[in-house]
């Protein structure tokens, strides 16, 4: 059995009352106090972090800039790294947004010419200065 300190509660009695020598009772009181005080804010933050990021259209000016580039490079709509950097600076979009826009645009709207298709299959340059290597 557990011992008792002079006139105090035994460890067994402390545990039965929810008070332990390791301070877990105080810890629970602190948790309860903090939860009462900040519970609403915690719930709000939890909701904010768990909700999905809202899908949205890119700004009109940015889309127009990308479309202008697309229309002037319709034979080979693959921007170079320099082109992408320039588009990032011009549009204010992230590089990932630029890349995704071009990926989607090519999937939805680009049909390579027969010349480009043959060049891709043969590993020849479809556009002067643009070589395709088969690794």
Q: What is the pLDDT of residues 44-84, one digit of tens each?
A: 887 777 776 666 899 999 999 999 999 999 889 999 999 99
- Domain coordinates in residue numbering, the chain: 11-50, 60-122
pLDDT tier for residue 7 given thresholds of 50, 70 and 90: low
What is the pLDDT averaged over residues 99-113? 92
Task: Kindly tell me the burial class for residue 15, based on how many C-beta atoms sit within 10 Å of its own C-beta (0-12, 13-18, 19 or more).
Answer: middle
Cα separation values, 82 from 41, 86, 102, 113, Å: 44, 6, 15, 25
Domain 60-122: top CATH class: mainly alpha
Helix (H) or strand (E) holding 90, with range, is helix 81-91
């Amino acid at each position: 059995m557990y011992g008792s300190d002079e006139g105090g509660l035994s460890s067994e009695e402390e545990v039965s009352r929810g008070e332990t020598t390791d301070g877990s009772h105080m810890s629970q009181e602190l948790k309860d106090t903090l939860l009462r005080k900040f519970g609403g804010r915690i719930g709000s933050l939890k909701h904010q972090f768990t909700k999905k990021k809202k899908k949205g259209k890119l700004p009109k000016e940015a889309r127009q800039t990308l479309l202008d580039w697309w229309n002037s490079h319709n034979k080979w709509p693959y921007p170079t790294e320099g082109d992408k950097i320039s588009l990032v600076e011009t549009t204010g979009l992230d590089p990932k947004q630029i890349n995704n826009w071009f990926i989607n645009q090519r999937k939805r709207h680009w049909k390579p010419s027969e010349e480009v298709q043959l060049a891709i299959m043969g590993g020849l340059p479809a556009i002067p200065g643009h070589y395709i290597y088969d690794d």
